Amino acid sequence: MAVLLNGLRLVSSGNLSLHGIKSLQYKSTRILCQLPCKSSYQGRPFSNKNMTVELDNNTGVAVIQMKKPPVNSLSLEFLTEFAINMEKLEMDRECRGVVLTSSNPKIFSAGLDINEMYGKTPEHSGEFWRAVQEMWLKLYGSNMVTIAAINGSSPAGGCLMALACDYRIMADNPKYAIGLNETKLGIVAPFWFKDSMINVIGRRATEHSLQLGLMYSASNALKIGLVDQLVAQDKIMTHALSVMSEWLAIPDHARQITKSMMRKPTLDRLLTNRESDIQNFVNFISKDSIQKSLQLYLEMLKQRKS
């Protein structure tokens, strides 16, 4: 991102030379070879704990498939692994795009792991929230093209992951829903959750959604712009890769600088207030009333399972 910001400053000042453009092209990734160098698929998996990550060297596209049963809840371990994987892909000059999806055909991600917020020490809560921040910073601020292939329901933190991507494709299934529904659990979505949604669907729709904790069906999510396309469940990955090829047809340096222009103010707001945001979360989640709400929710989940 530092390379992009430097390029942005040069563009704004009119001092971006041909040498500078070539440097940006090289540093951001190789964009001249659009065709596969080999006819066979060349995949490189490098993780298989809470997610599988496989990079196709021919296309420069990585697929991150979340596989933390039963619902891909965002635990501290999961979030740490996700951030590490995103960092690896960001550093790999072969990788130009990431498709994020789930191995569970009914759940994209159920959001933050409630067990990480209930009955924990302030130190643990702070560490957990820092990991949530890091996940969002890595995804929202990525130089790569990021596409969410939402093949199941995606409440709360799962919706945040989708919002952080450049493009969202959702399975056309009336049983699936997506939204930031934190208020229904007695939790307040922080300002950067709010900002992420505002940047996608606008201020009024976001205010309505957040106050009521709304979950949108796939068709309604498309209507308000929360997702960009609906496709059949069995076509979602094929379509995601097709859309990815359209995005990768744009020269990387131009797309990345444009993305940075659009997203930098939102990123900077969290980076500037990161420590206070962590402290606010710890103070809030430690309240007796919030802990009681989380306890009741966990008990309800146990009853459903039984």
d(CA 105, CA 256): 32
d(CA 12, CA 50): 42
pLDDT digits (tens, 9 = 90+) for 32-49: 233 333 334 456 666 668
Q: Report all structural domains of the chain as residue ranges with CATH numbers, in order of start.
A: 40-305 (3.90.226.10)
> Residue 21 — pLDDT band, cuts 50, 70, 90?
very low
List the catalytic residues: 112, 157, 181-182
pLDDT digits (tens, 9 = 90+) for 228-284: 999 999 999 999 999 999 999 999 999 999 999 999 999 999 999 999 999 999 999
Q: Concatenated DSSP letters for 129-181?
A: HHHHHHHHHHHHT-SSEEEEEE-SBEETHHHHHHHHSSEEEEE--TT-EEE--
pTM of the model: 0.84
Closest CA to 89 of 129, 134, 44, 130: 44
pLDDT digits (tens, 9 = 90+) for 47-98: 668 999 999 999 999 999 999 999 999 999 999 999 999 999 999 999 999 9
pLDDT digits (tens, 9 = 90+) for 109-129: 999 999 999 999 999 999 999
More confident residue, 293 or 9: 293
> Residue 303 — pLDDT band, cuts 50, 70, 90?
confident
pLDDT of residue 23: 38
pLDDT digits (tens, 9 = 90+) for 135-183: 999 999 999 999 999 999 999 999 999 999 999 999 999 999 999 999 9
